[in-house]
Amino acid sequence: MDYYQVANHFLWLYSLSVSFAILVMVINFPYQQQRQRILGAAFTVPFTGYLMSGLLIIPGLQIDQVYWMAETLLLLMVMLIYWGIVKEKTNLLYFLMTGTIISVVVFWMTHRFAMEIISKVDHRFALWFLWIPAIMTAYKMKQKKEGFNRYHYGFLMIVMAYTAQFFQGSLYVPEVSLLLKIAGYTLFLIHFSRSMEKEIKEMQHLSETYQRRFKKTADHAAKNPENEIVRSHQTILENAKKDGLTGAFNRISIMDFIDEQIRQNDGSTFTVLMFDIDKFKEVNDRFGHVKGDIALKTLSSVTQNVIRDHDLLGRYGEDEFIILLPKLNLAEGKLVAERLLGKIQNTKDPHFTISVGISVYPEDGESVTELIQKADRGLYRSKEKGGNSISHHEVF
């Protein structure tokens, strides 16, 4: 085995290990940014290709061809994610299974039917398959005013590794290409591990903050009569159910309320509204995150003034909210949504609009998950209309 083969086998083992490590992190760690998880799950493509190559399931493909195909497919997958063709809220397990199946089929079909074509493809022509998705992804990032991070620089290293093959006659080109690929996969690994480390520290800081607040409240309660202790305990329990920024109920609490409404239902209908701020990222980018927080507080405050006293408002995600409207049918729920839409249109500093999705019990589902999924479909339908609108997943 010569030096070049040893280097290729090392690169295969390193790429396989990094892809596997990223997939493990994405599956086991709940990244707060949905796109982060989907971008990580895209590494199921190279992992599947390298694994099939190692198990000799595709013995006809040379290892260089396996690299080229796997990383081209990975770049295409990332382009589809940034262009919104693969949605950020795509179910992670579904995406992993789909990516694996597609990868197996592509590599197997190539091995069975297209070996002669692949072997005759000129490197200079093949490079377009890498540069095109790379340029289109960079263009979409520029449109969204997103900056480069280690993940994107990793892809740049991969593309540059193949670009170096333009100079095949030059000295040390294989070594340069190898080092660029190793640098690229190293940047991928650092990106996901650092993101995970950052979120763990944020959660630890949040936990420590709650512990300090709890201790402070407990110390204060210990100095008061028994009725004050009971009142403080109730306050702690109530605050634990609410989102600190907006004052709305948190995700777990609003889902529990919907579940309780289902279990205690007397046969009457109720409505769930799911809504979020249109182009919220642009609000943050244009005005800053402080204004973004103000927009969330304003949205919560306006909503509380629109709904009834016994209606419940919860913050489901970053800028996603849910309203539980007991005893209201679809038409009545739509009236509430229209009133909310009208109030939000008058917001200033910053001005923003919202999109709303509606689901109704029991017509759209008899569980919390089904009702939220149907409301979410309605929300996406409103987004497809251009935002600032109300939609049911079927009716309107």
Q: What is the mean pLDDT of each run of 10 residues along the chain (396 residues)?
A: 73 90 87 80 90 79 78 88 82 85 81 57 64 83 78 88 71 78 92 86 77 72 54 53 84 86 85 93 83 90 91 89 93 93 88 94 89 92 92 88
Q: What is the pLDDT of residue 233?
A: 47
Per-residue pLDDT, 168: 63
- The CATH homologous superfamily to which domain 243-392 belongs is Reverse transcriptase/Diguanylate cyclase domain (3.30.70.270)
Which residue shows structure tokens 């760690």?
29
List the chain domain ranges.
Answer: 3-200, 243-392
Closest residue by Cα to residue 60 from 124, 111, 12: 111
Structure tokens at 243: 């989102």
Any residues with CB less than 8 A from the CB of 183 and at least 6 apart, and which? 154, 157
- The string of DSSP codes covering 200-228 is HHHHHHHHHHHHHHHHHHHHHHHTS-HHH
Q: What is the pLDDT of residue 65?
A: 75
Q: How far apart are CA 238 and CA 236, in angstroms?
A: 5
The structure's pTM equals: 0.52
Token readout for 318 is 């970053």
Looking at residue 29, the DSSP 8-state letter turns out to be: S
Q: Are 18 and 189 in contact (CB under 8 A)?
A: yes
- At 169 the pLDDT is 57
Cα–Cα distances (Å) from 206 to 227, 238, 243, 246, in that order, read: 29, 17, 12, 16
pLDDT value, residue 73: 87
